[in-house]
Structure 1
Amino acid sequence: MHLIIAEKYLAAKRIAKILAPKKPKEVRVNGVDTFEIGSDEDKQIFVGLSGHIVKLDFPKAYNNWQKVEARELVDAEVITASTQVKIVSALKKLGKQATKVTIATDYDREGELIGAEALEILKTVNPDLEFDRIHYSAITPKAINDAFANPTEVDFNLADAGHSRQVIDLVWGASLTRFISISAGRLGKMFLSVGRVQSPTLALIVEREKERDVFIPEPYWELSAMLKTKDDEEFQVDHATKRFKDKDEVDSILDKLGNTATVSSIKTSTKTDKPPTPFNTTELMVAASSIGFSVANVKRITESLYTNGFISYPRTDNTVYPESIDLRAQIEIFKTGPFKQYAEKLLSKDELVPTRGKKETTDHPPIFPVSLAKKSELDEQEWKLYELVVRRFFATFAEPAQWETIRARFDISEEEFKASGARLVVPGWRWYYHYNAPKDRLLPELKEDDKLDIIKKEVQAKETQPPGRYGQGRLIKIMEELGLGTKATRADIISKLYSRAYVHGNPLQPTKTSYAVVEALEKFAPTISRPEMTSKLENDMDRIAEGQIPEEEVLNESREMLDSMFNDLEKNREDITELLRAGLREDKIIGTCSSCQSKLMIMRSKRGSRFIGCDGYPDCNFALPLPRSGQIVVTDKTCEDHGLYHIRIINPGKRPWDLGCPQCNFEEWKKTQEEEKKNNNGKIKPKNITDIAGIGKVTAEKLSEAGISSVDELIAADAFELSKTTSLSVKKLKGWQDAIA
């Protein structure tokens, strides 16, 4: 039996369907779905993993944060533990029957490691198992058939590079996270995470915010005039001095301006707008971010489009199409469907010459569409991203766009004013790829020495602006430039910063906790907060992949680097604790108490519930409620009515909830409760059955088995009949109904 292992369930299913002469047979093995084709003699079984089916961890003895010092993790043993027991069990069962295995996981560092992990499990039950590897960049019939026709070997050097990353990230992350969290007194779910890539990325965000904090705006003034032609066309002209720093100077010029402008010169020229290069992972992230996608969604959606056979492999550095791709054939796929007119125009060209980016690799091509998707096959977000990939692909074969530009100068009372215009005269590649295109800026028809009436003169007071925060796309680009993370991990790093409540919003804004963590690291462990260290380790991992150095050498060097860092951390533990706790306290301040002018803080009761309380307690009892779950982020937006900071609640896997001003929220809640009382004769109708006094989990299950799962169903039920099926007394049931009806 020939066993084929794919990285995901859907990939295994699609590959089996492509290779099968007829529909593959679905067979469950130890609770795992597999796909069979062929007879007993030449049977092929396809099984999908769930990404990594094992994980690295420390032995249980190291789990107690209070008893085991963080530094002990630096040289602790790293063990492998199963994360997908059913899949591991299925692999062992299939491995005993197999005569050959083909690793068909994604072809990159992570995919090679996932395949090697599965192979290691198989060899525990079948040490002499024959194995090979296939590489593909799209899950299409041609790509899969070509891959199986040209098998290669498992690249254990590449797998070692992936494994070294896991070990280094575990050891650095676990030890530093434990040290910083214990120092700050933040344990349990609220721990402060530190990471080899995460922390220097966070430092970038905090450093930009510090630049904004110290930025002192400078006033300046702009002088403009509104002109009108003989044909009553109006347009604005601006003084040649773009920014006046002296208010008296601009006022004196304004005072001397007459009511007529003369066209002193007109210059017309043509500007060439070159077509874009093919998408690699970073460029796709940047482009998708500019049209509203988060980098986490881009990663998730492109993975789905790839696995379903619509686009090529989405994790690539390449920006040059390889010669092996029949590019004309790829465009011909779109001769029908919504992109027909674009495909036909490209196919009418005698020669298709795509643009070339600066990065060329041999593992995967740039990201391009590999099959025609129907809009009905995808949800709205998937289609939007798929269309972006299709249009970018077309644009790389198109001609440059041409713009006609006009620069006009005007004389107003011997003061020079300017105006410029531009219009797209040859759409070129922008006809295919319309995203973020500059708009035409049209000027009326003008000639030198034309006289124009001035209908308005205006001075606008403005201020210089601080440097902008990083948007997700821009941050991904900077991470790539600095060697922080890889094309496969950068989106996850940004997602982690959000989930740990280190940042909020987009562009990314750091919390005060972030300030404290970054400041502590920069002051006492600067290596972890700077990109040079992680960039060096990334280069070392590349050298492992290329077979230049052994994995063990890199792991030992990273442990020595980390151990040295702990010398400074432990020596300055008290200062670190003070710094962190001051930052954490600042992140809990909501505003000023309207009753006593003390600080309003996020607090916890003796029972552990959260609330906003007054720092002046017990003299002041002012308090506001907070949601039971989720991490609380205090934003810098304040309520105009109450002066309190707005709050955002973050729950893993859910969209952030902007609660807003806690006082406004509470008042709105009270208003809703009063309205519900009016509508229910003074009673507040509970939302869930378990909200009714006397109904716990067991009783709710009894009611559910009787077909009662909502409050309305309980109100409408016949208490006598319901009593027979639930063994609950009629008196008790009627009591609940009376209480809520």
Structure 2
Amino acid sequence: MKVIIAEKPSVAKNIADALKIKSKKDGYFEGEGYFITWAFGHLLQLYDAKDYDSKMARWKMENFPFIPEQFQYKVKSDPRNRDRQDGGAAKQLRTIKSLIKKREVDGIISACDFDREGQIIGDTIIENINAGKRVYRLLLNEWTPNAILQGLNQLKSNEELLPLRNAGVSRQWADWVIGINLTSAATLKFQKGKGQALNIGRVLLPTLKIIYDRDKEIENFKPEKFFKLAALFRTKDGKEYEGFYTEGKEDKFKTKEYLDNISGQLNGAPAIVDDKTTEKKRELPPYLFNLSNLQGYITSKYKGWTSSKVLKTAQSLYEKKYITYPRTASNVLDDSLTGKAAKVLEVMKKGLPFEEEVRFRKSKRVFNSAKVDSHSAIMPTYLVPKSLTRDEAIVYEAVKNRFIMQFMPAAEHEETKIITKLRNADMKGFFVSKGRVQLTEGWKKVENIKSKEALLPSVNVNDEVETVKNKVSSHETKPPKPHTEKTLLKVMETCGRSYNEEDTTAEAMEAVLSGFSIGTPATRAETIKKLTDTGYISALGKNLQCTDLGRRLVETFPVKELFDLEFTGRLEKSLADIEKQKFDKERFLQLIYQFTKEAVQQIKTGEDVIIHEIASSKRSTEVLGKCPVCGNGVIEGFKGFGCSNWKNGCKFVVWKNDKFLATLRKKPTKTMVKQLLTKGSANVKGLTSKKGNKFNAILKYEKNPENDYFSWKMEFDKKF
């Protein structure tokens, strides 16, 4: 018998289903020579500082820097009470231990995700139990039955994954050391009042700096005026077309007077078609999705989506066996997947109106092992979903369509350029007209992408045309756009080396493949969410911007290396190199420890300024109404208005930073919550629309029928 440890219950069920095991016990499946059990992600966590030394229970500046001699793990804490063990985690660990210790068990198979986090989730559980039995590793990119059965016949020794484990442990320990020490020291030094700590992190601060820099660019931008001259020409058969005055390659001019002088020569002046070029151009489809590009695509196309939500949804599709591993940095497939991709394509194309145009072919643009970083690009599996949630359908369709596009014909269009010159006029330049006609839709049929066409009349070189009218127009240069999650993810992915989603320059690709980045595909979404939760950034629609707190932190916090993209990129590259056995784990950790000691000293000796001041206020225990879930009293807390029965598991809460209300530029108040609880609705004044208009509405906060969450509903009453 062997024990298989999956990362989550859903994955354990996938394995059991593939092996046709029906017998489910409390915390595991049994049959066919296997016990299949599971974790809930991390069952163990690193010790808190106070677990190593009781003096660390109170934050005192003289206690820092604090670096344990040896890192230790414990059962993860209850999220509602960090001083208590999570009961579910402790129970599941006991179940796993009892299975591993059975006499008939001669081996353990770690089936956690094939990445740094998955490796240390499995390893910490197995080492905590200290079974003394051989450990194998199941490495899969998808959880379909075929892949599982094949993977169980191709197990690796867990010892072969030591470099991956070293990289995961190095990341975990480094972030603990930097986070614990610098967050504590910074809060003691720069924060006045008690409340949420001044969160300092290795990945958090450089990401904040990217947004800060863009905000400053926009603030400091000074618009410059420029002018353009457009002329309308008419052919002998009465067809009209527009051209823009150009000298060399420049059609923007700094002085209006210069163009006014040329404009004065145009009225009714004869002109001639001096040149005409027509060129056919091929458009290839965008590359397969990696996680960052999938997050960017969804968040920019659909309202209300965050990169965190995209990852969560993609992870759900992965665990349901419908897509391959989503936490990947690659946008191509490994050559070994050629046969699998061909079979998937046969399934995916059936019934499409353009099925005959979908043809499998192997190309370097899709299959290229040299450009695969650990995991291939995201693609659908051969299993076709029978039912999906609305969110899952959005992400699945994006992945499926992007895959099908790779095997459609290229889109083709024709570009025409006409050069028109005035006869007998004293001017250096000429007028340029551009036209575009779509010839073949190709891959654009998959998502019905319509290209803008600009039609030009049929003319020949030396044709005479008449100048009908002209106009000098005034324009201004525009400031850079605020960062969105899409643009921010791209900068994080390559540490600013590439801003273009489809950029495949050698430098940009090398940055991705070498691991030179801010965070990893698995952690970037959480970093953006954490920046919002800590109050360092805020979102206005899709645009991200620094809050006052975020700005003060960037401008005042003395450890400038943490804001440096190059510094962070080098650390992340070192972790990637540990995984590739090009860098030593102990050397990396010594660099982190030394940096942390110097950073704490910088904070201690830094200027005494207040970055964050928290107004002291006594929390009210006033009961605002009855909880609609369990009937207990709802009271105001630090982060929201929640049920007083939360310790026993009631999850009802109206968050003070509620995202829906934030889009309306409103925060919940005691009065609003009282009305919701007593009347079922609240009359709310002064809401703000996306266009900036003020309005009033009736808001309701109702439980969703399919889950335990509550959603807002808005109604309008003319009397209100």
**Which residue in the other structure is 2:718 paired with?**
none
8 Å contact from structure 2 (residues 321, 383) kept in 1: no
The residue type equivalent to 1:37 in the other structure is G
Give secondary structure in 1 for the equivalent of 2:397: helix
Compared CA separation, residues 62 and 490, structure 1 to 2 (3 A): farther
Compared CA separation, residues 231 and 377, structure 1 to 2 (3 A): farther
Which of these residues, 84, 108, 114, is aligned with residue 107 of structure 1?
A: 114
Which of these residues, 481, 489, 512, is aligned with residue 548 of structure 2?
A: 512
Would you say 1:361 and 2:372 are equivalent positions?
yes
Which of these residues, 204, 209, 232, is aligned with residue 203 of structure 1?
A: 209
Which of these residues, 25, 50, 62, is aligned with residue 40 of structure 2?
A: 50
The residue type equivalent to 1:565 in the other structure is A
**1:236-278: CA deviations, max 9, x gaps?**
3322252221122233333333045543332111222234333
**Which residue in the other structure is 1:462 paired with?**
475
**Which residue in the other structure is 1:137 paired with?**
141
**Which residue in the other structure is 2:336 paired with?**
324
Structure 1 residue 232 displacement after superposition: 6.4
**Which residue in the other structure is 1:718 paired with?**
none
Which of these residues, 105, 116, 124, is aligned with residue 123 of structure 2?
A: 116
The residue type equivalent to 2:453 in the other structure is D
| In structure 2, distance between residues paired with 1:511 and 1:234 | 52
**Which residue in the other structure is 1:716 paired with?**
none
Moved more, 298-307 or 477-486: 477-486
Compared CA separation, residues 608 and 216, structure 1 to 2 (3 A): farther
Q: Which has the higher contact order (CA 8 A, sep 6+)?
A: 2
Structure 1 residue 168 displacement after superposition: 0.7
**1:64-84: CA deviations, max 9, x gaps?**
454354623345764322122
What are the equivalent positions in structure 2 for 1:226-241 lying under 5 Å apart? Answer: 226-227=232-233, 235-240=241-246, 241=250
8 Å contact from structure 2 (residues 206, 565) kept in 1: yes
Structure 1 residue 421 displacement after superposition: 1.2
The residue type equivalent to 1:161 in the other structure is A
Would you say 1:688 and 2:677 are equivalent positions?
yes
Would you say 1:660 and 2:673 are equivalent positions?
no
Structure 1 residue 204 displacement after superposition: 1.7
Would you say 1:500 and 2:534 are equivalent positions?
yes
| In structure 2, distance between residues paired with 1:282 and 1:686 | 42
Compared CA separation, residues 653 and 170, structure 1 to 2 (3 A): farther
Give secondary structure in 2 for the equivalent of 1:287: helix
Which of these residues, 166, 180, 193, is aligned with residue 186 of structure 2?
A: 180
Compared CA separation, residues 336 and 661, structure 1 to 2 (3 A): closer
| In structure 2, distance between residues paired with 1:629 and 1:500 | 13
Would you say 1:284 and 2:294 are equivalent positions?
yes
**Which residue in the other structure is 1:12 paired with?**
12
**Which residue in the other structure is 1:569 paired with?**
603
| In structure 1, distance between residues paired with 2:578 and 2:211 | 31
Identity fraction in percent:
27
| In structure 1, distance between residues paired with 2:587 and 2:616 | 51
**Which residue in the other structure is 2:414 paired with?**
404
| In structure 1, distance between residues paired with 2:470 and 2:455 | 21
8 Å contact from structure 2 (residues 106, 134) kept in 1: yes
| In structure 2, distance between residues paired with 1:481 and 1:67 | 38
Would you say 1:37 and 2:31 are equivalent positions?
yes
Structure 1 residue 116 displacement after superposition: 0.5
**1:127-175: CA deviations, max 9, x gaps?**
3323211111111121111100111111133112111111111111122
**1:82-104: CA deviations, max 9, x gaps?**
12222212212222224332111
| In structure 1, distance between residues paired with 2:363 and 2:660 | 43
Kindly indicate which of the two structures has a greater share of residues assigned to helix.
1
Q: What stretches of structure 1 of length at least 5 have no aligned partner?
A: 585-602, 610-626, 632-648, 674-683, 692-709, 711-741
Structure 1 residue 486 displacement after superposition: 1.4
**Which residue in the other structure is 1:422 paired with?**
436
**1:314-355: CA deviations, max 9, x gaps?**
122334423332132121112435xx34554324x6x54362
Give secondary structure in 1 for the equivalent of 2:244: strand
Would you say 1:313 and 2:325 are equivalent positions?
yes
Give secondary structure in 2 for the equivalent of 1:278: coil
The residue type equivalent to 2:151 in the other structure is A
Give secondary structure in 2 for the equivalent of 1:300: helix
| In structure 1, distance between residues paired with 2:666 and 2:657 | 22
8 Å contact from structure 2 (residues 46, 74) kept in 1: yes
Would you say 1:345 and 2:349 are equivalent positions?
no
Give secondary structure in 2 for the equivalent of 1:256: coil
Structure 1 residue 409 displacement after superposition: 2.1
The residue type equivalent to 1:496 in the other structure is K
Give secondary structure in 1 for the equivalent of 2:124: helix
Compared CA separation, residues 628 and 451, structure 1 to 2 (3 A): farther
Structure 1 residue 216 displacement after superposition: 1.4
The residue type equivalent to 2:157 in the other structure is E
**1:450-485: CA deviations, max 9, x gaps?**
555656533332221222222222222222212211
Structure 1 residue 687 displacement after superposition: 3.7
Alignment length, in residue pairs?
600
| In structure 2, distance between residues paired with 1:334 and 1:189 | 52
| In structure 2, distance between residues paired with 1:77 and 1:186 | 33
The residue type equivalent to 1:397 in the other structure is F
Compared CA separation, residues 317 and 685, structure 1 to 2 (3 A): closer
Q: What TM-score comes out, normalization by structure 1 length?
A: 0.73
Would you say 1:89 and 2:94 are equivalent positions?
yes
**1:180-223: CA deviations, max 9, x gaps?**
22333256543221111111111122122222222211112222
| In structure 2, distance between residues paired with 1:277 and 1:136 | 23
8 Å contact from structure 1 (residues 332, 343) kept in 2: no
Compared CA separation, residues 606 and 200, structure 1 to 2 (3 A): closer
Give secondary structure in 2 for the equivalent of 1:159: helix
The residue type equivalent to 2:289 in the other structure is F
| In structure 2, distance between residues paired with 1:536 and 1:79 | 27
8 Å contact from structure 1 (residues 70, 179) kept in 2: no
Give secondary structure in 2 for the equivalent of 1:403: strand
Compared CA separation, residues 371 and 224, structure 1 to 2 (3 A): same
8 Å contact from structure 1 (residues 334, 343) kept in 2: no
Structure 1 residue 392 displacement after superposition: 1.7
